[in-house]
Amino acid sequence: MNLLELKSKLEKGKALQGEVVYIKEDNLISGINSVYKNQEDKSVVLIKSNEETIKVDNLLEILNEIYALVGDVEIFICDGELSRDNIRSIESVEFAQYELTKMLFINV
C-alpha cells in the first residue's frame, strides 16, 4: 500500500474516533514500535512491537513528514528487526472497537 492510500484510510478511521493503530497478521495483534524511512529504495517500513503501539494522530504526523521529504512511497510491515527477508505488504486497514477503545488494524 502506498503512503497516501494508508494516510487516507487512517484519516477515515480517525474520523470514526479511532485512537490507536495495531498491526494484525493471522489473528495475531502487534503494536507499532517505530517507523523506518528507507531513502535508498524509496519505501517506509512500520516495525512491529509486542508491547507498545502508536496513536493515530502521531502516525499521521509522521507520514505527513515523510511525504514532504520523499513523496508517495510504498509502506511495508516488518517484524522486530529490519530485514528484507521479513518485510510484508499491507493488505487493508479496518476499524474496530473493544470495550471503550476504538482502534485501527493494519492487516498484513
Residue 101: what are its φ and ψ, rounded to 5°?
-90, 125
Helix 3-15 to helix 56-70 angle (10° resolution) is 150
pLDDT tens series, the chain, 108 aa: 999 999 999 999 999 999 999 999 988 999 999 998 887 778 899 999 988 899 999 999 999 999 998 899 999 999 877 666 788 999 999 999 988 889 999 999
Give, as one character, the DSSP assignment of residue 79. -
Q: Count CA atoms closer than 13 A to 94's CA, side-chain side.
A: 10
Task: Tell me the C-alpha to C-alpha distance, in Å, between residue 60 and each of 12, 17, 36, 66, 86.
Answer: 11, 14, 14, 10, 24
Residues 76, 88 contacting (CB under 8 angstroms): yes
